């Protein structure tokens, strides 16, 4: 599946979390859950690793493309909760 994101959103994610949204393609997904806090569209969170480091990807799917919302290091508590 294709990954699409706004360059300004990518720059903001790099500044805030130190990683490009383009790295979402490198995420080795171990678990995915629906984020039910949002009513306007279905949003998901995927937990996995990039270069052996735990990460969390918040995203939505639009027009057969993954639209990353945020990519950041995952907290140990999240990994314990969602990854078997």
Per-residue pLDDT of 73-83, as tens digits, reads: 999 999 999 99
Model pLDDT, residue 4:
96
Model pLDDT, residue 74:
98
State the total domains in the chain: 1
CATH number reported for the structural domain that contains residue 40 in this entry = 3.10.450.530
Model pLDDT, residue 79:
96
Per-residue pLDDT of 6-55, as tens digits, reads: 999 999 999 999 999 999 999 999 999 998 887 788 899 999 999 999 99
For residue 4, count other CB atoms closer than 10 A to its CB: 12
The boundaries of the domain holding residue 49 are 2-82
Stronger pLDDT, 50 or 84, i.e. the higher one = 50
């Amino acid at each position: 599946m294709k990954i699409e994101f706004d360059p300004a959103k990518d720059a903001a994610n790099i500044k805030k979390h130190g990683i490009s949204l383009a790295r979402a393609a490198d995420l080795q997904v171990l678990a995915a859950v629906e984020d039910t806090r949002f009513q306007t569209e279905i949003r998901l969170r995927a937990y996995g690793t990039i270069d052996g480091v735990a990460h969390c990807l918040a995203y939505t799917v639009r027009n057969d493309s993954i639209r990353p919302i945020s990519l950041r290091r995952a907290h140990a508590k999240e990994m314990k909760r969602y990854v078997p």
